[in-house]
A and B are shown apart, each in its own frame.
Chain A
Amino acid sequence: MSMTTRETIDSLAGAQASPFTNPLREGLLIERTPAPCTMVIFGASGDLTRRKLIPALYNLALERLLPAGFSVVGFARQDMTSEIFRARMKEAVNEFSRRSPVDDAVWNSFAEGLTYVRGDFTDANAYNNLAQHLGVMDETRGTLSNRLFYLSTPPDSYDDIIVNLGNQGLNIGPPASWQRIIVEKPFGHDLDSARDLNAVVNRVFNERDVYRIDHYLGKETVQNIIAFRFANGIFEPLWNRQYVDHVQITVAESIGIEGRGGYYDHTGALRDMVQNHLMQLLTLVAMEPPVELTADPVRDEKVKVLRAVRPIKPDLVRRFTVRAQYAEGYESGDPVPAFRDEERIAPESITETFVALKLFIDNWRWAGVPFYLRTGKRLPKRASEIAIQFKRAPHLLFPGNAAGSMEPNVLSLDMQPDEGISLKFAVKVPGPMMNLRSVNMGFQYGTSFNVQSPDAYERLLLDAMLGDSTLFTRRDEVETAWDIVTQIMTGWEQTGATTLPTYEAGTWGPVEADAFLKMEGRQWREL
């Protein structure tokens, strides 16, 4: 009974090396709990920590999914004691948790592990303090040198933090322990910067310990794309060029830039949404079945899709892309300014707030099938959808007026605001005449499983603690997506445009976007 904590950790090396099967877990629907660990949040005084991270961790505590001894160390420049940090985080949980008000008993236990270390991201001494603090946590809370570092800072601090973690040896630990890092998007702002960032990260952390987070992948409905496609035998035979006319992926936002003018003017819709969220949706809807539902097989298939995306060479951007900015208009009845009139937006800005793309995936399954992607700010409503539009029946038996209001079959996977799946098909209108009409057969999560879905961050933070990177993006995935997007950006630069088409705020985008599909005999879906 005389082992020290360090000896205990060392002795666990053998135990953790072998796969562990818990016979008591059979038949239970609860996720396993991770090993005791400390999560270090860089940028802990920021908005993401307050709005998402701490509420998500607290919700995990409520759901009994956090391990014994779980601890959080907030690290930021702001001067603050651990007591103040705890008080602020409690307020944040009350305000932003889906399970507010705070349950005092659970909170008090959770908050025992919340501490704060003040430090500048560039100051080597601060990391020395952090290392000592983490050593104390291991001794007092039994966290076994397991660390999860979370970069919740502006991207320009990433390099300093990662290098200092390496210099301080915080990226390594005893054999049985783990040290992982979660990197928030954006992962670079083009292909070169993404490669540079990845190089820095991988000099300090092994790729298997790097978790690039795109919160979209943590959404229940996004994960359901995989379930829908690969758990149902009836759709797979139709899921290809032989039956699919085209695919539309829409992620529409009704909000504007929400005070993030400085950031957004250097980013734009292509970088902010397409490179990550829309590309993720594209890969999930287009990928081949993975050999198993684990991290690398899934990500291998996603990368194959991205590699098969036909590049939009700079001279083709006018044919395959539309970009635009919102002009003044209305949102929910209130007048809103034009993008160029927003705070911290350059008056001559040509940053796009709307983008539409036509992509082709050059492989056997999808050859010749266009994938239309669109996203924008200040659109009429918040809505996300993947719509698979099938080809029309090869021969219509019905007279023209009978089939007049008949539309093609569409399978729609809805992610926001109402999560569900619907299928459009034609039926006969009751009566003596053969009149046809399209109807929707819908399934809504809200009316079928009245269970509150966990927040995306809950799922992703738990997965990172458990060492499951399936829902995180891998280095090659990020770089391949950037390669596609960077070529489009290059093409846009080469056009020399000084203004962009505009669309009235509160509408579905510029007329150019409508014309983009109309000339191919298609139209955007009305959501």
Chain B
Amino acid sequence: MSRVWSEISHQVEQQSGHIPLQTSILTLVVVARGRLEMRSAHDVLHRLSQQLPSRAIIVEIARPGTELDATISAHCQYLESGRAACYQIVEIRAASDRLQAVPSLLVPLELYDVPSFMWWVGDIDFDSPQARRLMSSAERVIIDSARFDAPLEGLRAFASYLEHQDTSCTGTDLNWARVTSWRELIAQSFDHPLARNLFDTIQRVDISFDRAAEAQAYLLAGWMASRLNWRLTSASRTPDTVRLILKNHQDGEVYINLNLQQSGGVGVRGVRILAGGADDAVRLTVRRSSDDIVIVSIETAALPRQDRVLRDTKPSLHELIGRELLIHTRDHVFDESLTFVTNVVDTLAIASAP
């Protein structure tokens, strides 16, 4: 690795006059399977290198019987300032039935004294001992439940893994990162002086979502419920709606409706919150008006309706991962939201049992 780095440093210095600076922020282990996932991994790493210069190790899960193989490369790209951002990639190809050997390779390759993240590009079999062993070598595991065949079941299995594994490994889901913008806008809505004291008076929350974003809607509901200390008392499902009944800390009832939309998008479409009493009712709305515009509104009887028109471009995969890589410690807000999602999934399963 040192020789590869030395050679590329020399080349960059000759071309630009600057020795490339090597800043180590983290090690990112990427686990990918198949050509599409590998392409996705390389694309993300290339884009991430500008933001978080680091060492990346790609573990390609190959067909059984494939020989263990590894390659090393270093990459630099010039920034506007003329300086070069560089990163190193180690690629390990291991057969799916030989994954248990991989952690012993990872440890010496990971950068010393910086956090180690593991991003699984595709679906994960959480019951597989090999996958569990591989995950246990990371400090933080990033999954993407949007790529799972059954996202809610996958989240439930992930929650179970995080709860029962015996290392200090923490986790997150890119679907959680996809609702960050919604969380920010909802939280900001309560900064308004007319909304500040309304948390205990929220009566109803409606979350509408596209079919592919069911897990996002559940996580968003889980986030509100866990942050505001709401307890789930019942859950029921119709073809287009999941209806949750909860109790706030004063034992008041709160309704959350998760409404499936027949639109063709892949995200949350809108959130409407009703709060206040008969004399001071307030309606807070965050709704997507087009692919990249959201409108945040506050409606009260006393003031004119106030709208904020905001740009909300769908974040790319590397931006989502970049955001999650900034969180080094346990994200207990995510953990508690995930626990709520698990609770809802279990309650719905019981309700629908014959």
User: Which A residues contact B (CB, under 8 angstroms)?
Assistant: 1-5, 7-8, 12, 15-16, 20, 22-30, 32-36, 62, 64, 66-69, 103, 105-106, 108-109, 139-142, 144, 176, 418, 442-444, 446-451
Contacts and interface: CB of A to CB of B under 8 A. Distances in A.
Given A24-B227, A447-B21, A447-B83, A109 B191 contact: no
Contacts of A140: 304
B233 interface: no
Interface in B4-42: 20-21, 23, 25
Given A20-B196, A24-B224, A30-B188, A105 B309 contact: yes
Contact of A32 (B84, B188, B227): B188
A28 B296 contact: no
Interface stretch (B93-101, B178-186, B235-243, B259-267): B178-186
Contacts of A450: 50-51, 79, 85
Nearest to B323: A29
B194 A23 contact: no
B187 A64 contact: no
Contacts of A108: 309
Nearest to A65: B188
Contacts of A24: 183, 186-187, 190, 223-224, 227-228
A69 B193 contact: no
B279 interface: yes
B310 A64 contact: yes
A4 B302 contact: yes
Nearest to A99: B311
A105 B307 CA distance: 12
Contact of A12 (B84, B194, B224, B279): B194
A451 B308 contact: no
The 8 A-B pairs of least Cβ separation, nearest first, read A109-B309, A68-B306, A1-B301, A27-B333, A24-B187, A142-B303, A8-B302, A450-B50
B224 A109 contact: no
Nearest to A417: B81
A512 B298 CA distance: 64
Interface size class of B (residues with CB under 8 A): 35 or more
B304 A141 contact: yes
B126 interface: no
Contacts of A66: 308
A33 B199 contact: no
Interface in B205-250: 223-224, 227-228
Contacts of B270: none
B116 to A, nearest CB: 19
A35 B193 contact: yes
Contacts of B194: 8, 12
B162 interface: no
Contacts of A106: 309-311
Contacts of B193: 12, 15-16, 35-36, 144, 176
Contacts of A32: 188, 191
Contacts of B109: none
B281 interface: yes
A23 B227 contact: yes
B192 A8 contact: no
B55 to A, nearest CB: 15
A24 B205 CA distance: 14
Given A30-B187, A69-B304, 11 more contacts: A1-B301, A15-B193, A22-B191, A32-B191, A35-B191, A68-B192, A109-B308, A140-B304, A141-B306, A444-B21, A448-B53
Interface centre among A2, A36, A64 (most CB of B within 10 A): A64
B23 A33 contact: no
A3 B302 contact: yes
Nearest to A176: B193
24 contacts: A1-B281, A1-B301, A3-B280, A5-B302, A8-B302, A12-B193, A16-B193, A22-B190, A22-B191, A24-B186, A27-B331, A28-B187, A33-B188, A35-B192, A64-B310, A68-B298, A69-B304, A106-B310, A109-B309, A142-B304, A144-B193, A447-B83, A448-B21, A449-B51
